[in-house]
Amino acid sequence: MAGYWDRIFLLAFVIHPMSGFEIYAKSEMIVENGTDVRLSCTFKSNQVDQRTLSVYWSFKPGTGGKDQLILYYLAGQSKSQFPDRIAWDGNINKSDVSIIIKNIDFKDNGTYTCQVINPFDYSKTAAEILLSVVEQGSLPKHSIITGAVIGAVVGLLLIIGVVYFIKRKKDGQRNAYISGTGKN
């Protein structure tokens, strides 16, 4: 019977690392043409060794076609198929396997897949990012959004102040009426 429990324990030990491996990336991004874009991809694992972990980034054009490998990372080294435009921007020690695409263009519309293979987890996992490139200047700027939020808050406070002032004035008139009728 002891051999049975030893096998169960060993099986749980082997299966456990697989359940702890996860990969994270935004599912969609909208970016402006002509900018540099960081495609963020991170993972969570129980155990990582830079010498054995591998990462593969691929791209499938939005117009259709085959997936093509655009960058891979293996044994602490990265290799880009387009070194003038696509660069490794990850840090395995921080579970980050991100890349940067320089001078993004409309031809970069499509699906980017970040695949991480970690032998300690006995699995490979991937995340996809649907990238949409839009005309430069078409996305709202942070200052516009911040101004709109501040304007909405100020407007709300102004409305609350007016309502409070009107209520207080009505209460004052009611108290004056009640105290005026009590003297007669």
pLDDT tens-digit readout, 123-179: 668 999 999 999 987 666 654 556 566 667 767 777 887 777 788 887 777 776 676
Whether the pLDDT of residue 34 is over 50: the answer is: yes
Average pLDDT, stretch 27-40? 95
Tell me the sheet residues that pair with 110.
Answer: 61, 131
Confidence of residue 11 (pLDDT cuts 50, 70, 90): very low
Distance in angstroms (rounded) separating the CA atoms of residues 97 and 72: 10
Average pLDDT, stretch 64-78? 92
What is the maximum alpha-carbon separation in the chain?
A: 101
Main-chain phi, psi angles of 46, to 5 degrees:
-75, -25
Chain center to CA of 113: 14
The two three-digit tokens of residue 48, written as one number: 């990582």
